[in-house]
Amino acid sequence: MNLKGKVAIVTGGSSGIGLAIVLELARQGANIVINYHTHPKAAEELEKQVRGLGSHAIGVQADVSQIDDLRALFSQAVESFGRVDIMVNNAGVETRSSILDTTEEQYDKVLSINLKSAFFGTQLAAQQMIKQGGGGRIINISSVHEDWPMPGNTPYCLSKGGMRMLTRTAGVELAPHNILVVGVGPGAVETPINSATMKEPALLKKLDSAIPLGRMAKPEEIASLVAFLASDGASYLTATTVFVDGGIMQGSPGL
């Protein structure tokens, strides 16, 4: 698995799964554009870590729910590294609100950060990849909830369900350009998005016991799959989602 000479953009790259993806792609030799929204210090620290791995990185502030910000992110990537080979649509949020009480503001926030950003991120990546030639990889960080209802988290499930069809449709549409589009569907991962559960021992125990492998994933266990999907070894995978969920979608142990 060698990504030497490749250029990757990772949205929401300064924390959690995105941070682990940045480090793993860099370890494999890729140069990285680390998109961050609100934490410049974390992005700066990560740039240093990438340099320590022998790759180059730039941190770029952008609110990926805004198309102009996304355009500026791509311009800076091309200006700095000349091309984009790997696009990782990773930025995401949730509101934990049910269908009964979700506000318009919550709906718009989750759908625009999770889905609109991935749609236009895919569009801009594909336009750049077609222009430069040679194909590319677009990896959408989805969730088991692209398929699996989570009551009380309706906008999130909706956004990931949309991402599921974005991956499938864009994968088919872009296949003639050798641009492969793949979704990654994590189960529960130890990141800031789950901090409330992780701080509550009873909740954590309940969650762990529902997972066949008996524990949450480490972000690095998602990142290693992303690095494989970006590599030559994954040259026949497109328009589908690979789940990395410790078996949880297949049922809980003992039930």
Ligand X SMILES: NC(=O)c1ccc[n+]([C@@H]2O[C@H](COP(=O)([O-])OP(=O)(O)OC[C@H]3O[C@@H](n4cnc5c(N)ncnc54)[C@H](O)[C@@H]3O)[C@@H](O)[C@H]2O)c1
Q: Residue numbers of the site for ligand X (CB under 6 A)?
A: 11-12, 14-18, 35, 37-38, 63-65, 90-93, 113, 141, 143, 186, 188-189, 191-194
- CB-wise, 52 or 192, nearer to ligand X? 192
Closest CA to 209 of 252, 148, 250: 252
- CB-wise, 63 or 177, nearer to ligand X? 63
Strands annotated E in the chain: 7-10, 31-36, 57-61, 86-89, 136-141, 179-186, 240-244
What lies within 8 Å, CB to CB, of 248 at 6+ separation is 144, 187, 188, 210, 211, 212
What lies within 8 Å, CB to CB, of 159 at 6+ separation is 92, 110, 111, 114, 115
The minimum distance between CB 101 and ligand X, in angstroms, equals: 21
- CB-wise, 11 or 31, nearer to ligand X? 11
Whether residue 164 contacts residue 115, with contact meaning beta carbons closer than 8 Å, is answered with no
| Cβ density class 9-31: b for 16+ within 10 Å, e for less | bbbbbbbbbbbbbbbbbbbbebb
Q: State the pairing for strand pair 7-10/86-89.
A: parallel
The minimum distance between CB 36 and ligand X, in angstroms, equals: 6
- CB-wise, 41 or 131, nearer to ligand X? 41
What lies within 8 Å, CB to CB, of 96 at 6+ separation is 152, 153, 156
Whether residue 137 contacts residue 225, with contact meaning beta carbons closer than 8 Å, is answered with no
- CB-wise, 29 or 152, nearer to ligand X? 152
Catalytic residue flag (residue 156):
yes
- CB-wise, 23 or 91, nearer to ligand X? 91
The minimum distance between CB 199 and ligand X, in angstroms, equals: 14
Of the candidates 36, 107, 156, 236, the residue annotated as catalytic is 156
The minimum distance between CB 75 and ligand X, in angstroms, equals: 16
The minimum distance between CB 137 and ligand X, in angstroms, equals: 17
The minimum distance between CB 5 and ligand X, in angstroms, equals: 26
221 to 78, 117, 134, 185, 186: CA distances (angstroms):
29, 24, 29, 12, 9
Tokens 């718009």 — which residue?
108
- Catalytic machinery residues: 156
